[in-house]
Amino acid sequence: MLTLGVARLKLSKYSPEAELTDKINAACELLLTAQSLKGCLEKVTFAVTDGLLTLPRKYYGCLGATVNSTPVSIYNGWYEFVLAGPGAVDTAYNEVIDLGDGWVTITDISSVNAAGCTIRVASDQTEAGSASVLLMGLDADGDTIRTADGGGFIEGEFVDIGDTSTTTFTTLSRVVKPVTNGVVKLYAVDGADETLIATYDPNEERPSFRRYRVPLTTDDDTTVTALCQRRHVEAVDDSDELPIDNINALREALMSLQYEDQNDAERASLYLGNALGILNKEQRRYRPASFYPPPVNFIGHVSVPCQF
C-alpha cells in the first residue's frame, strides 16, 4: 500500500509543501467517489449485535451483502415508505435495511440497560489533563441532557478522558472529541458491569457511522459479509495508508485540483478524466468487465443491470 509519507515525497513538486498533505487527502476523496475502482471497495466480514450492523468509520456503505453466507437485498431509507413497500419495519427478514448515517455508537445504550447507563471515557494512551469529550443525548425521561459549564448551561456533558459521566444516558445522539494521542473508547456502565459501545480513532473529532438492520437468524452468531464502499478518512501521519495507491492517478488528481483552484473547469475535468482512466485500466487488469444487478433497491424490487 502507498503511505502518505511516500506520496508526499513523490508528489512534492505538484503542490506547495504546506498544502501537500491537504491536497493528497483531497485527491483521495475525489477519486473515492468512483466506487467501482480499485481501492474504493473492500470485502469485509462483521459480527452482528442485536440485529444491527454499525459500520466502522472507514466504510461509507454496503453495496452488497450476505447474511451467514446467504445473499440478501439491501434497501435504502425509502423502503418503508413506498406504496408497494412493507410499511414500518422493526425487524428485517430477507433483506438488509439501511438506517442511514449519523450513528455514534456501535451498540445502543438501551441494549445494555433500557433505563440508561453512565458513560465512562477511556484512552489507550496518556492524554492531556484538560482533554475531555462532549457527550450529547437523552436522559431516562427522554429529555435532552443539559449540564452546567463555565457559568452557563450547555447541551450534553463534558467528561474528562479517564472519568465517568455524572449523568445517566439512555441515548447518545452526538459526540465531540478532541484530537487525542490514543484511541478513545466509550463504555456503558451498569452497576459493576461495563460494555464497550464505541471506539474512536485519535483524529476522529465528530464521529458518524452508518447502520443497517440485519435479518434475524436462528444462529447465535450472525455474520454479515459485505462489499463496502470506503469512506474518505484524512491521512495525517506519514505511516497512514492511502486508499488510492496508484501514484500516477494521484498526480493527475492533484493537477485537476490545481486547475479547479484556478477556475479552469476544462483542464480540471481533463486531468480528473486522466486519473479515472488510469484507475479503470488498473481495475481491468484484475477482472474483466461484467454485468451485475445492483443489490441496493430504491423503489420496490426493481434492479437495473449496470456495467463496471
Q: What is the pTM of this model?
A: 0.82
Question: Which residues in the chain belong to E strands, given as ranges?
Answer: 41-47, 52-54, 59-67, 70-75, 95-103, 118-123, 132-138, 146-149, 152-155, 157-160, 171-176, 184-190, 193-200, 209-213, 223-230, 291-292, 296-297, 306-307
In a shared domain, residues 272 and 303: no
In a shared domain, residues 50 and 190: no
Please give the tally of structural domains in the chain.
3
In a shared domain, residues 203 and 114: yes
Model confidence pLDDT, tens digit, residues 108-157: 999 999 999 999 999 999 998 889 999 999 999 999 999 998 889 999 99
In a shared domain, residues 217 and 70: yes
Query: Of residues 294 and 192, which shows the higher confidence score?
Result: 192
**pLDDT of res. 305:** 46
Query: Of residues 304 and 20, which shows the higher confidence score?
Result: 20
**pLDDT of res. 308:** 44
In a shared domain, residues 73 and 215: yes
pLDDT band at 287 (very low <50, low <70, confident <90, very high): low
Range of the domain at 272: 4-34+237-289
Beta bridge pairs of residue 133: 159
In a shared domain, residues 72 and 220: yes
Flag whether pLDDT at 301 surpasses 90.
no
**pLDDT of res. 295:** 55
Q: What is the mean pLDDT of residues 299-308?
A: 46
Model confidence pLDDT, tens digit, residues 217-271: 655 678 999 999 989 999 999 999 998 999 999 999 999 999 999 999 999 999 9
